[in-house]
């Protein structure tokens, strides 16, 4: 018997954030930004060189939480406050606590590394309204910036507590009211997809792991997936979006089996269903119900047997489920 494990997602179980490399980024600059060593980033990403390219997604191990758009202590526009994320708190919880939208929260913190994996203690700027916070570069042309975003100089001055829109200093954080953080949202969406490639198909007790298992009486076999116990009829969801490649009775002990092929040709298998609710060729999105827990095929009680195949080989699903 295996000890029961709770499968509730553990916030902050991974002590790193994902950071999409932008044009002009270097590992050194990212390391400095997050207060970690270059070596720590190289190790976390199993990189042999410091060469990175825009679009690469880097794991950045946290030593301490970093702030939103600015280092702590930077002067912030009027009406903004700093907020420290609490244990287990999500961005949407913070947004609803302050009665603002996620988009407004991202606009005030366009440099955050993740929508879902900010660590406890992370410092967020809470804006008084929707808009975009930008850091002025030394040679910023404020008028061009205002023109680009269709903001009047008076509105800009008011939103930033300035006597004149030209009353600015290099490196100052300014608030562009009403501007959508389009770029940040697109980047964070990509990060979210990379972070959440697979989700748990079912929450329940993990009763058997991937790997060799002893069947007693001197016999053993290799368990190609994990078993998650749950009552018969509990809905099981697609761990990731994809196309159904098999849906129905399997002669190989899987009972009622669903297989889903994903964009990178990996496949997830879901076995022993009491009922199957998808058919071959159907596209299913991540999190949608594909069948119900059962005990069909070679099974000793209601559970989901879940396999993950990459390059035609079953690998340990716990490597990708978090």
Q: How far is the CB of 298 from Zn ion (least distance, A)?
A: 9
Q: How far is the CB of 309 from Zn ion (least distance, A)?
A: 14
How far CA 63 is from CA of 15, 86, 231, in Å, comes to 8, 17, 42
* Residue 177 to residue 165: CA distance in whole angstroms: 14
Is the Cβ of residue 47 or residue 229 nearer to Zn ion in the bound state?
229
Is the Cβ of residue 292 or residue 305 nearer to Zn ion in the bound state?
305
Q: How far is the CB of 238 from Zn ion (least distance, A)?
A: 18
Residue 307 contacts Zn ion per CB under 5 A: no
Q: How far is the CB of 317 from Zn ion (least distance, A)?
A: 11
CA-only gyration radius of the chain, Å: 24
Q: What are phi and psi of 313, to 5 degrees?
A: -130, 140
Question: Under DSSP, is residue 261 helix (H, G, I), strand (E, B) or coil?
Answer: strand
Is the Cβ of residue 195 or residue 227 nearer to Zn ion in the bound state?
227
Q: How far is the CB of 217 from Zn ion (least distance, A)?
A: 19
Give the residue carrying structure tokens 């964070």.
188
In sequence order, the β-bridge partners of residue 247 are 258
Q: How many residues bind Zn ion (CB under 5 A)?
A: 2
Site mask for Zn ion (CB under 5 A), range 115-134, x = bound? --------------------
Q: How far is the CB of 10 from Zn ion (least distance, A)?
A: 23
Is the Cβ of residue 20 or residue 274 nearer to Zn ion in the bound state?
274
Stretch of residues binding Zn ion (CB under 5 A), selected from 74-82, 87-95, 184-192, 304-312: 304-312
Residue 305 contacts Zn ion per CB under 5 A: yes
Nearest to 14 by CA among 158, 195, 253: 195
Of 70-99, binders to Zn ion (CB under 5 A) are: none
Nearest residue to Zn ion on Cβ basis: 305
Helices (H) and strands (E) in the chain, counts: 7, 19
Name the strand (E) or helix (H) holding 221.
strand 219-223
* Residue 248 to residue 238: CA distance in whole angstroms: 16
Of 226-285, binders to Zn ion (CB under 5 A) are: 227
Question: Under DSSP, is residue 305 helix (H, G, I), strand (E, B) or coil?
Answer: strand
Is the Cβ of residue 34 or residue 270 nearer to Zn ion in the bound state?
270
Q: Count the Cβ atoms, other than its own, within 10 Å of residue 14.
A: 15
Give the residue carrying structure tokens 């609490």.
86
Stretch of residues binding Zn ion (CB under 5 A), selected from 79-87, 198-206, 246-254, 305-313: 305-313
Of 206-235, binders to Zn ion (CB under 5 A) are: 227
Contact residues for Zn ion (CB under 5 A)? 227, 305
């Amino acid at each position: 018997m295996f000890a029961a494990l709770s499968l509730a997602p553990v916030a902050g179980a991974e002590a790193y954030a994902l950071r999409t490399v932008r044009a002009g980024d270097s590992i050194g600059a990212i390391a400095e930004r997050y207060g970690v060593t270059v070596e720590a980033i190289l190790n976390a990403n199993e990189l042999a060189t410091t060469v990175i390219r825009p679009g690469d997604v880097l794991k950045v191990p946290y030593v301490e939480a970093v702030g939103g758009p600015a280092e702590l202590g930077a002067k912030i526009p009027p009406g903004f406050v700093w907020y420290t994320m609490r244990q287990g708190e999500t961005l949407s919880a913070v947004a609803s606590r302050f009665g603002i939208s996620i988009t407004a929260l991202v606009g005030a913190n366009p440099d955050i590394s993740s929508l879902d994996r900010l660590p406890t203690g992370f410092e967020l700027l809470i804006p008084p309204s929707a808009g975009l916070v930008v850091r002025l570069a030394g040679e910023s042309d404020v008028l061009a910036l205002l023109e680009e975003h269709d903001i009047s100089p008076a509105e800009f001055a008011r939103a930033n507590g300035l006597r004149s829109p030209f009353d600015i200093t290099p490196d100052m954080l300014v608030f562009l009211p009403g501007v959508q953080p389009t770029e940040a949202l697109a980047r964070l969406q990509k990060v979210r997809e990379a972070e959440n490639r697979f989700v748990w198909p079912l929450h329940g007790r993990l009763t058997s792991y991937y790997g060799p298992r002893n069947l007693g009486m001197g016999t053993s076999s290799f368990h190609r997936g994990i078993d998650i116990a749950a009552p018969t009829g509990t809905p099981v969801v697609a761990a990731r979006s994809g196309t159904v490649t098999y849906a129905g009775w399997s002669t190989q002990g899987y009972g009622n089996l669903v297989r889903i092929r994903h964009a990178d040709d990996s496949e997830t298998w879901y076995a022993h269903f009491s009922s199957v609710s998808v058919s071959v060729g159907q596209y299913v999105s991540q999190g949608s119900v594909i069948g119900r827990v059962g005990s069909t095929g070679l099974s000793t009680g209601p559970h989901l047997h879940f396999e993950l195949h990459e390059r035609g080989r079953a690998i340990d699903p716990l490597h990708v489920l978090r």
